[in-house]
Chain A
């Protein structure tokens, strides 16, 4: 008797917890880049208002980590801040995972320093290479330019699973994955933001949106005379750190109604959301082209 009452109570409680609105059901599994995450998160939030019963969950394993799962068919969409590597593409082929690459925004990878850092506001990519290259012997700011303070640089950056890491190392050091080893690594860009904002001698790099979101506590470094802004990134003037960012969609998953609905919604609303989040939206035709690639 008591057991029955408890059971009924639990069932009733569970009904209270259920979402209302929208007929579509199912799961959409997403993982990958922390750079692209804010866009996907925002869109998933908006998506709830038209399809509340669809369960979207988004992991942040890094572009590389996400691709490992994507190529194994474990997730439907991978947030990627770089293109898929050959190794990953081959693995996908082996696992019979066919996919579509959809660019969703432009990002200007931003190198940041602490607002109290008044000396290093302008750097060249050669100087950046000197700091970040493999086997770099740079320890103090004065090792780069003699006039700079003789204090140790505290470096913050993404780890090896991050697409941002891959892209930065390729653009600055010449080879993807080639980087100095002794810096504070985190796949969580928020940790990097906090680290740089909290230390006068700190320097870090991550996607533009994270800089824009935290402008009051960070300073963006001007690279080769060009500062990262919506304009310079859009026009491709901010070099070499402007890049497109993507989502990769599993074609098989797209056949499921909830995934199709989500991806279509994504591309339709991307322009507005991308801008709101802090990245640079692509021209309309590119989003329309994306919709047709299935």
Chain B
């Protein structure tokens, strides 16, 4: 009898401990968000979105960072998405049998785990110095593309794998060639899943700071970039600059910047969720 009581008691303690810790994750998130909102709403205004950085906290704004991030994301998308989807299509549909195929797979998952700062050094050496693109949007976009390419490939492969084979076989049965099957049938069906993965990868890229600092995007920038060869700044770097200053008002500015950044990421993630939801409705095969 005693033993059973003891076991039941341990059970209860354990249950409560794990319940507590699980719900504490919500507490952590709430505290984090509350702190940022409390600090950040002070300077948040239309002016904040439209001003350039200033030594006066009241006048400072994120315009350079917002537009820098925007153009950086556009260029990164243009570079990484086609290459990523193409790679995923190749690996899934054509595939390379045996050892080489295995090596490429292992390679992709390893690349996904490489610290972002190493990509920064790679970008610095290859794009900034060797190719002489200097501290430009182009260098930044190329570096970020390399960074998120493995993520896009993995997500796209999952989406392509999920396409039922019946679609492929039906197309072959009608006499289609391999590339016609891929582009005419597999890709349209997998597109929603691919898009979701791409958007999630981009929402990660928009928050990346370290590789861009290595590229040299840390300078004071008070303009919006006009060409791919212009210098630039991005939202996370502006936040970093402000957070690094000792005065409290700049910390508040950093919080405002974080609110803008998180809102943008939230929007992107919501779009991804909507796409996923809509496509799963359609795909009730």
Contact = CB atoms under 8 A, between A and B. Distances in A.
Interface of A: 10, 13-14, 17-19, 27, 31, 37-38, 41-42, 44-45, 48, 55-60, 188, 190-191, 193-194, 197, 213-214, 217, 277
Nearest to B56: A45
Contacts of B247: 213-214
B241 to A, nearest CB: 9
Nearest to A56: B222
Q: Mostly helix, strand, loop or mixed at chain B's interface?
A: loop
7 contacts: A17-B70, A18-B226, A19-B224, A48-B52, A57-B220, A193-B246, A213-B247
Contacts of A213: 247
Interface residues of B, number: 22
B52 A217 contact: no
A136 to B, nearest CB: 27
B218 interface: yes
Contact of B218 (A44, A60, A190): A60
Given A38-B55, A41-B55, A190 B246 contact: yes
B133 interface: no
A17 B68 CA distance: 10
A27 B232 CA distance: 12
Contact of A188 (B70, B223, B244): B244
Nearest to A55: B223
B224 A45 contact: no
A6 B216 CA distance: 30
B277 interface: no
B62 to A, nearest CB: 12
Interface in B47-93: 52, 54-55, 63, 67, 70, 74
A19 B223 contact: yes
B231 interface: yes
B19 to A, nearest CB: 38
Nearest to A44: B222
Interface of B: 52, 54-55, 63, 67, 70, 74, 216, 218-224, 226, 230-231, 244-247
B230 A45 contact: no
B141 to A, nearest CB: 15
A110 B219 CA distance: 25
- 5 interchain residue pairs of minimum CB distance: A58-B220, A59-B219, A55-B223, A17-B224, A193-B246
B224 A18 contact: yes
B55 A214 contact: no
Given A17-B67, A38-B55, A45-B55, A191 B219 contact: no
Nearest to A273: B55
A38 B55 CA distance: 8
A270 to B, nearest CB: 15
Contacts of B221: 55, 57
Given A188-B244, A190-B246, A217-B246, A10 B230 contact: no
B246 A197 contact: yes
Contact of B244 (A14, A27, A190, A197): A190
A22 to B, nearest CB: 12
Given A17-B67, A44-B222, A57-B231, 16 more contacts: A13-B70, A17-B70, A27-B231, A37-B220, A42-B55, A45-B54, A45-B222, A48-B52, A55-B222, A56-B220, A57-B220, A60-B218, A60-B219, A190-B246, A197-B246, A217-B246
A133 to B, nearest CB: 28
Contacts of A277: 55
Contacts of B230: 55
A60 B237 CA distance: 14
A89 B227 CA distance: 34
Given A17-B67, A48-B52, A57-B231, A41 B245 contact: no
A191 B244 contact: yes
Nearest to B244: A190
Contacts of A194: 246
Contacts of B54: 45
